[in-house]
Amino acid sequence: MLGAIFEILLVIALGLIFILLFGLLRALPFMTGLLGSVFLFLVFPGLKDIIPGETKLSVITLIVVIEFIIAILTFNQQTSGPMIVFSCLMFVDLIMGLSYGSFECASWQKATFVTVVYLAVTYFILASNCDSLKVDRDDSRNIIVSLVVACMYAASVGATLLVILGAIWEKFVKLKFSEGFYNAYDKTGIVLIIVAMAVTALGSVVRDRVTA
């Protein structure tokens, strides 16, 4: 009897956890903002005293300000799409960065598999958030908004390539090739990321100016 009750409670608990996680995954802009706030506090401890003598109030104030900015960018017709893409990719890439030391890509097959899984998970999260945070889009952007959007798109592309070329394939190259080849790969990857970000930003601005 007790065993059956325990199993029922376990199933209910797992169901609630799944619902909670699914809900969080469908509202990643705000989850990313919360994680970003924690990151800022760790990197810049002085932010806890932006209101002198009020540590808790300082923390709450910064989180509220960040979430407010995210809400504006997420539900604004001109920035909604780019903001959802940016925040989702930042969240996934942060998780990949934190798990960097937990996996090895000793073969090209495994590196390919990890890349495919990463892209598939990223696509699922993007599609889920775009569906749950539906906002009518307006691609007629002024120059300031165009620059903000261009930066978000460029950062999204740069972070994605950094995960693929750095966190995933870099391990395979480092294990299988010489140090000279690895150094050349590393420098080429950095150049490729910079060029891709610049082209993405420029393309975004040009597209906005053409459609304005």
Instruction: Supply the DSSP symbol for 52.
Output: T
Query: What is the per-residue pLDDT for 33?
Result: 80
Query: What is the per-residue pLDDT for 135?
Result: 55
Element (H, E) at 116: helix 108-132
Handedness of CA 177, 120, 194, 29 (dihedral sign): negative
Query: What is the per-residue pLDDT for 201?
Result: 92
Name the residue type at position 21. Answer: L
Whether the predicted pLDDT of 118 surpasses 90: no
User: Which stretch of 43-57, 62-76, 131-145, 169-183 has the lowest confidence by average pLDDT?
Assistant: 131-145
Give residue limits of the domains in the chain: 78-212
